[in-house]
């Protein structure tokens, strides 16, 4: 800038650069994820269903409140991870284990139906033993409610690298491709190759 004083006020530009630098996060810092509030009525309903061993019906929002699905689930337990409260349940709608974030439950009602979890499927799907690494938009981090997160770090302005364990390689490939470009496979090589190969089949 000193070489072209007529093009800009050096002090003003330097001040702007300082301000920008002050808000750019350190690449080594962990992601600051702020949990949304959970309805007390939802928590009470879930607790009662777990204690009574009955199924519940929920309206569940995905990434946005505009994408709401209706689910019938068999609740097993509630737990907190990274400040988010989750419901561990067998989803009868998708016929798979799911971890539902309670702040995304927009409606809930109990049923008189006893929980009905297929025993063989319970043993098989409860094990997450495929290790993968993905990169994703920081705003999309909260959608990882079906994985075991081992570590994560912020290394770009809007990107996060996450090491996680999932049910299978195929499941993670589907998750990456379904993200619409918000996720990218980083490793291992067989995961990256699998994403590329399946994406070619969609062309």
Query: Between 156 and 53, where is the model more confident?
Result: 53
Can you give the length of the chain in residues? 203
Using the predicted structure, report yes or no on whether residue 124 has a pLDDT greater than 70: no
pTM of the predicted model, to two decimals?
A: 0.53
User: How confident is the model at residue 156, as a pLDDT?
Assistant: 59
Using one digit for the tens of pLDDT, what is the confidence trace for 132-187?
Answer: 999 988 777 766 766 777 787 877 567 888 888 887 888 888 888 888 888 899 99
Upstream peptide bond of 188 is cis (omega within 30 degrees of 0):
yes
Query: What is the Cα gyration radius of the chain?
Result: 22
Highest mean pLDDT among 3-17, 39-53, 146-160: 39-53
Share of the chain above pLDDT 70, in %: 70
127-202 has which fold?
Alpha-Beta Plaits (3.30.70)
Using the predicted structure, report yes or no on whether residue 123 has a pLDDT greater than 60: no
Using one digit for the tens of pLDDT, what is the confidence trace for 82-113?
Answer: 678 889 888 888 887 788 889 889 999 999 89
Task: Look up the CATH number of domain 40-118.
Answer: 2.30.30
User: How confident is the model at residue 160, as a pLDDT?
Assistant: 84
* Cα 123 to Cα 142: distance, rounded to the nearest angstrom: 26
* Cα 22 to Cα 13: distance, rounded to the nearest angstrom: 14
Domain ranges of the chain: 40-118, 127-202
């Amino acid at each position: 800038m000193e070489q072209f004083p007529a093009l800009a006020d050096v002090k003003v530009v330097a001040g702007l650069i300082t301000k920008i630098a002050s808000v750019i996060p350190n690449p080594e810092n962990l992601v600051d994820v702020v949990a949304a509030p959970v309805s007390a009525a939802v928590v009470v309903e879930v607790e009662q269903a777990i204690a009574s061993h009955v199924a519940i019906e929920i309206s569940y929002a995905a990434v946005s409140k505009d994408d709401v699905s209706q689910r019938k689930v068999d609740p097993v337990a509630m737990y907190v991870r990274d400040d988010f409260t989750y419901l561990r349940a067998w989803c009868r709608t998708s016929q798979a284990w799911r971890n539902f974030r309670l702040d995304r439950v927009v409606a809930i009602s109990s049923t008189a139906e006893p929980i009905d979890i297929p025993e063989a499927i319970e043993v098989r799907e409860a094990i997450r033993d495929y290790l993968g690494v993905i990169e994703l938009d920081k705003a999309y981090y909260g959608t990882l409610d079906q994985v075991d997160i081992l570590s994560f770090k912020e290394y770009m302005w809007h990107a996060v690298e996450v090491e996680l364990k999932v049910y299978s390689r195929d499941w993670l490939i589907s998750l990456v491709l379904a993200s619409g470009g918000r996720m990218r496979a980083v490793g291992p090589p067989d995961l990256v190759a699998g994403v590329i190969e399946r994406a070619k089949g969609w062309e």
